[in-house]
Chain A
């Protein structure tokens, strides 16, 4: 899951050339969660139904994003989609009976406890195949990040390439959201940290992000399990990634701000 979230985060950041772009900020995870919540509310509680709904939700958001141009507009579009999705999810929570709300909340917060081995195999195959595809397309993502005109000059068909990439990212995010819930920040943070070392070399950045993301999420899962022994209940992985991710991301943004201020002061 960590592989998939960080590989999709790195790919979206490369495509939009915006360090804030990741499935969580752009609303792709939000769209998948909303569709999953609607499926749950309608009584489709099987994981396969949740997967289908989450994939369609993520794909719908990607189809909206493909219409948006501009590095800043894409974040604005993501904010709007997230606001819309979270308000509808809140509405669903209030309309559901108490036990339904609890299972929905736990699904939304994310858990790695997959009940059946075949689901684990299915998710593993989707994650691995999608990450390998994104890895194979890393050079294309780097060139698409230069803008449609420059990408066309470099021999790409930007709209066709983007459609393929969005489809795979939707599949990946939809599957992860359906099986493990809403896990934010990891797709934003890991590529951000690694980009300091790799620069805009997507051929290095995407596989490195995937590997580090996989390791980091495994570590967070251990923490989540350890919390059960320590305090008597399991803190969902989605909460841990947000609790650790927010201050680290804030510190990175502050350091970048201080650096730019020092440049101006010279």
Chain B
């Protein structure tokens, strides 16, 4: 279980959340919905451990994730930011492998098939459309087969209907396998 204790989320000028006690159970999909500037991304950054809370704690089981070494934290939590900053001359297969360096050809091929990008693996990111790049970005997060928690910030932005359906199928599979899935969205439909 992933849980927060008395978590407060601050920006330099503002207090976004105070005294949050949340818990996320294995097998669950949780969606954080809210308008722009609400603080969804900041909260997800705290949950994924890439920002250390100034007040409060985030635990996975009994382990404070702020005290975990980054490479150990990544073994538990696979997270995806809103923006993709990958250089355009990166190969799609290399980009997916960033998420899980041990990933061999087969899991990458299977996941890319599930996302409809299996024909793009040997192409460079700069030659893809925005929606195709988004699918590659999602694959980077979901390739992590040993993670217990998947945190994705607006994964459906820029995806067409088919892309959204494929994304949901994969997220449900992760949850069915006992994973914790947490998403941020503007609007859940």
Where the two chains meet, the residues of A that have a C-beta atom closer than 8 Å to any C-beta of B are: 17, 139, 142-143, 145-147, 149-150, 152-157, 195, 199-201
Q: Known contacts A149-B50, A199-B91, A201-B94; is A155 also within 8 Å of B85 by CB?
A: no
The 10 closest A-B pairs by CB, nearest first: A155-B74, A199-B89, A155-B71, A152-B50, A200-B90, A200-B87, A147-B85, A200-B89, A155-B70, A157-B70
Residues in A neighbouring B81, C-beta threshold 8 A: 149-150, 153
Residues in A neighbouring B50, C-beta threshold 8 A: 149, 152-153
**Contact assessment for B99 and A154 in the assembled complex, using a CB-CB cutoff below 8 Å:** yes
Query: Least Cβ distance of A142 to chain B in Å?
Result: 8
Report the separation of the CA atoms of residues A177 and B44 in the bound assembly, to the nearest whole angstrom.
Answer: 46
21 pairs, A vs B, C-beta closer than 8 Å: A142-B98, A146-B85, A146-B86, A146-B98, A147-B85, A149-B45, A150-B86, A153-B74, A153-B81, A154-B74, A154-B98, A154-B99, A157-B69, A199-B89, A199-B91, A200-B87, A200-B89, A200-B90, A200-B94, A201-B90, A201-B94
**Contact assessment for B124 and A199 in the assembled complex, using a CB-CB cutoff below 8 Å:** yes
Main secondary structure of the interface of A (DSSP, over half): loop
Query: Least Cβ distance of A195 to chain B in Å?
Result: 7
Convert B73-104 into 0s and 1s, putting 1 for each residue whose CB lies closer than 8 angstroms to a CB of A.
11100011100011101110010001101000
Report the separation of the CA atoms of residues A253 and B150 in the bound assembly, to the nearest whole angstrom.
Answer: 42
**Contact assessment for B87 and A139 in the assembled complex, using a CB-CB cutoff below 8 Å:** no
Residues in B neighbouring A155, C-beta threshold 8 A: 70-71, 73-75
Query: Least Cβ distance of B146 to chain A in Å?
Result: 12
Q: Known contacts A153-B81, A154-B98; is A145 also within 8 Å of B91 by CB?
A: no
**Contact assessment for A17 and B87 in the assembled complex, using a CB-CB cutoff below 8 Å:** yes
Report the separation of the CA atoms of residues A155 and B69 in the bound assembly, to the nearest whole angstrom.
Answer: 8
Report the separation of the CA atoms of residues A149 and B45 in the bound assembly, to the nearest whole angstrom.
Answer: 9
Residues in B neighbouring A200, C-beta threshold 8 A: 86-87, 89-90, 94
Report the separation of the CA atoms of residues A145 and B85 in the bound assembly, to the nearest whole angstrom.
Answer: 9
Where the two chains meet, the residues of B that have a C-beta atom closer than 8 Å to any C-beta of A are: 45, 48, 50, 69-71, 73-75, 79-81, 85-87, 89-91, 94, 98-99, 101, 124
Residues in A neighbouring B71, C-beta threshold 8 A: 155-156
Most buried by A among B80, B90, B99: B90
- Which residue of chain A has the shortest Cβ distance to B48 in the bound complex? A153
Query: Least Cβ distance of B53 to chain A in Å?
Result: 15
Residues in B neighbouring A143, C-beta threshold 8 A: 98
Report the separation of the CA atoms of residues A17 and B87 in the bound assembly, to the nearest whole angstrom.
Answer: 7
Report the separation of the CA atoms of residues A150 and B80 in the bound assembly, to the nearest whole angstrom.
Answer: 8
Report the separation of the CA atoms of residues A153 and B41 in the bound assembly, to the nearest whole angstrom.
Answer: 13
Report the separation of the CA atoms of residues A153 and B71 in the bound assembly, to the nearest whole angstrom.
Answer: 9
Residues in A neighbouring B75, C-beta threshold 8 A: 155
Residues in B neighbouring A17, C-beta threshold 8 A: 87
**Contact assessment for A150 and B70 in the assembled complex, using a CB-CB cutoff below 8 Å:** no
Report the separation of the CA atoms of residues A155 and B87 in the bound assembly, to the nearest whole angstrom.
Answer: 19
Looking at the complex, which one of A142, A146, A153 makes contact with B79 (CB distance below 8 Å)?
A: A153
Report the separation of the CA atoms of residues A17 and B91 in the bound assembly, to the nearest whole angstrom.
Answer: 15
Query: Least Cβ distance of A49 to chain B in Å?
Result: 40
Apart from A149-B81, A155-B70, 6 more pairs, CB < 8 Å: A146-B85, A153-B48, A153-B80, A154-B98, A155-B74, A157-B69
- Which residue of chain A has the shortest Cβ distance to B124 in the bound complex? A199
Residues in B neighbouring A153, C-beta threshold 8 A: 48, 50, 74, 79-81
Residues in A neighbouring B74, C-beta threshold 8 A: 153-155
Report the separation of the CA atoms of residues A195 and B73 in the bound assembly, to the nearest whole angstrom.
Answer: 32
Q: Known contacts A143-B98, A149-B81, A154-B98; is A201 also within 8 Å of B73 by CB?
A: no
Residues in A neighbouring B87, C-beta threshold 8 A: 17, 145, 200
Residues in A neighbouring B98, C-beta threshold 8 A: 142-143, 146, 154
- Which residue of chain B has the shortest Cβ distance to A147 in the bound complex? B85
Residues in A neighbouring B45, C-beta threshold 8 A: 149
Q: Known contacts A146-B98, A199-B124, A201-B94; is A152 also within 8 Å of B70 by CB?
A: yes
